Chain A
Amino acid sequence: MNNALFVNIFRFILLLAVQIIIFNNMNFLGYISPYPYILFIILYPVNGNKSGLLVASFFLGLIMDMFSNSGGIHTTACVILAYYRPYLFKFSFGLSYEYQTVKLNDEVTPERFSFILLSVLIHHFILFTLEAFKFSFILDILIRTILSTVFTIIICIIIIYLIKPNRR
Chain B
Amino acid sequence: MQQIFNFIYKNSNRLLFLLLLGISLFLSIQSHSYHRSKIISSANFLSGGVYERINNVSEYLNLRTQNDALAQENAKLRSLLFNAKDTTATPKLDSIKGLKPDDIIVSKVIHNTFNTHENYITLNTGSLQGVKPDMGVINSLGIVGIIDNTSSNYSTVISILNVKSQINAKLKKSNHFGSLTWNGKSTGFVQLTDVPRLASIRKGDTIVTGGQSVIFPENINIGTIDKIEIDNQTHYYTIQVKLFNDMTNLGHVYIIKSKNREEIINLEKKEKKDE
Contacts from A to B (Cβ < 8 Å): 20-21, 24, 27, 30-33, 50-51, 54-55, 58, 61-62, 65-73, 75-76, 79-80, 83, 130-133, 137, 140
For A69, list chain B residues within 8 Å (CB): 40-42, 113, 118, 120, 122, 156
A61 B17 Cβ-Cβ under 8 A: no
For A72, list chain B residues within 8 Å (CB): 23-31, 40
What CA separation (Å) do A58 and B156 show in the bound complex? 24
For B270, list chain A residues within 8 Å (CB): none
A76 B113 Cβ-Cβ under 8 A: no
For B41, list chain A residues within 8 Å (CB): 66, 69
Query: Could you tell me the distance in whole angstroms from the C-beta of B109 to the nearest C-beta in chain A?
Result: 13
What CA separation (Å) do A55 and B21 show in the bound complex? 11
B259 at interface by CB-CB < 8 Å: no
Query: Could you tell me the distance in whole angstroms from the C-beta of A54 to the nearest C-beta in chain B?
Result: 5
**Residues of B within 8 A of A (CB-CB), count:** 39
For B30, list chain A residues within 8 Å (CB): 71-72
For B117, list chain A residues within 8 Å (CB): 131-132, 137
What are 28 A-B pairs at a CB distance below 8 A? A20-B50, A30-B115, A30-B248, A51-B12, A55-B16, A55-B20, A61-B24, A68-B113, A69-B42, A69-B113, A69-B118, A70-B118, A71-B27, A72-B23, A72-B31, A72-B40, A73-B31, A75-B20, A75-B23, A75-B24, A76-B28, A79-B17, A79-B24, A80-B21, A83-B17, A83-B21, A132-B117, A140-B184
B166 at interface by CB-CB < 8 Å: no
Query: Could you tell me the distance in whole angstroms from the C-beta of A95 to the nearest C-beta in chain B?
Result: 19
B96 at interface by CB-CB < 8 Å: no
Query: Could you tell me the distance in whole angstroms from the C-beta of A96 to the nearest C-beta in chain B?
Result: 21
B31 A70 Cβ-Cβ under 8 A: yes
For A30, list chain B residues within 8 Å (CB): 114-115, 187, 248
Most buried by A among B12, B37, B51, B118: B118
Query: Could you tell me the distance in whole angstroms from the C-beta of A135 to the nearest C-beta in chain B?
Result: 13
Most buried by A among B21, B24, B42: B24
B23 A66 Cβ-Cβ under 8 A: no
A70 B116 Cβ-Cβ under 8 A: yes
B179 at interface by CB-CB < 8 Å: no
What CA separation (Å) do A76 and B114 show in the bound complex? 22
What CA separation (Å) do A58 and B12 show in the bound complex? 16
Apart from A30-B248, A83-B21, what are 19 other A-B pairs with CB-CB below 8 Å?
A33-B115, A51-B16, A54-B17, A67-B42, A68-B113, A68-B116, A69-B120, A69-B156, A70-B116, A71-B37, A72-B27, A72-B30, A76-B24, A76-B28, A83-B13, A131-B118, A132-B184, A133-B32, A137-B117
What CA separation (Å) do A58 and B248 show in the bound complex? 30
Q: Give the residue name and chain of the A residue nearest to B31 (CB).
A: A71
A79 B42 Cβ-Cβ under 8 A: no
A76 B21 Cβ-Cβ under 8 A: yes
For A50, list chain B residues within 8 Å (CB): 13
What CA separation (Å) do A79 and B26 show in the bound complex? 13
What CA separation (Å) do A120 and B30 show in the bound complex? 25
Among all A-B residue pairs, the 3 with the closest Cβ atoms:
A71-B31, A72-B27, A75-B24
B36 at interface by CB-CB < 8 Å: yes
What CA separation (Å) do A20 and B55 show in the bound complex? 12
Known: A31-B115, A83-B17, A131-B116. A66 touches B187 (CB 8 A): no
